Amino acid sequence: MVLTEKKGNIGIITFHRPEALNALNSKVIEALDEAVTSFESDEAIKVIVFMGSGRAFISGADISEMENLRGLDAVRFTTKGRDLFRKIEFMSKPTICAINGYAFGGGFEFALCTDIRIAGEKASFAFPEAGLGVIPGFSGTQRLPRLIGASKTKELMFTGRVIKADEALQLGIVNQVVPQDSLIDEVHSLAKQIAEKSTMAIEFIKKSINLGLEINIDSALEIETGFVTACFGSHDQIEGMSAFREKRKPKFD
């Protein structure tokens, strides 16, 4: 259901449930949580990449599990996915999403919790929930409007319209659209670039941005000042600035 692989200092998590187009059910969510926790605690891993196998990234949450949920069971299922996505959003390591195909419903929501989203030309996105008598429940109604605005979010969620990779790029949902057959290579190249930078600096940048987006700007600036101050005197700051002065490539831990 969830495959893990290490390529140097890059951890790769692949959704692999081809019989259901990688749909999310409780077992997939639990396996994903285990994989994420393992890579987060592995000091050798600097960047985490998520991808889907076959023609889908994640086709959504599994309707065969959801259709009979009622009351507390529905709360538990939704909370399990929502809390894991929040955990991934705020984990210390940078995350990249390689979107190869369908990213519908919960799959779209999952992509939104990652730091950088790269789409192949065949990627497509939709929120079909209103046509199923429900609403997005893994944080989509909160993350997407913060990214593209409330009005456009409402249009996409009210209609369930499928958008292609090029429109997702125009809206700012994805960072790049690349040829389908080079998606993995492009994502791996980007991950390697990030992995070469200071792990501490990347973590502090991520925390500063994520926390700052949730509070007023004056408080956010104080957070930024705290993180930048914490960098000074560290191995990475001394090495990075020494390497710049000596015109060589820095050697971070």
Give the closest residue to 24 by CA, choosing from 139, 158, 141.
139
38 Cα distance to chain centroid: 16
The CB density around residue 169, as the number of other CB atoms within 10 Å, is 17
Among candidate residues 65, 109, 155, 167, the one labeled active-site is: 109
CB-based contacts of 220, cutoff 8 Å, min separation 6: 208, 211, 212, 213
Query: How far, in Å, CA of 42 to CA of 204, rounded?
Result: 18
Per-position b or e across 230-251, b if 16+ CB within 10 A of its CB? eeeeeebbeebeeeeeeeeebe
User: Phi, psi at residue 176, to the nearest 5°?
Assistant: -150, 155
Catalytic site includes residue 129: yes
Are 132 and 59 in contact by the 8 Å Cβ rule? The answer is: no
Task: Give the three-class secondary structure for 235.
Answer: helix
Among candidate residues 30, 40, 89, 129, the one labeled active-site is: 129
Would you state the structure tokens that stand for residue 236, as one six-digit string?
């990475």
- Signed CA dihedral, 127, 128, 130, 132: sign only: negative
User: Phi, psi at residue 107, to the nearest 5°?
Assistant: -70, -40
CB-based contacts of 98, cutoff 8 Å, min separation 6: 49, 50, 51, 52, 57, 118, 120, 183, 184, 187
Residues with catalytic roles = 109, 129
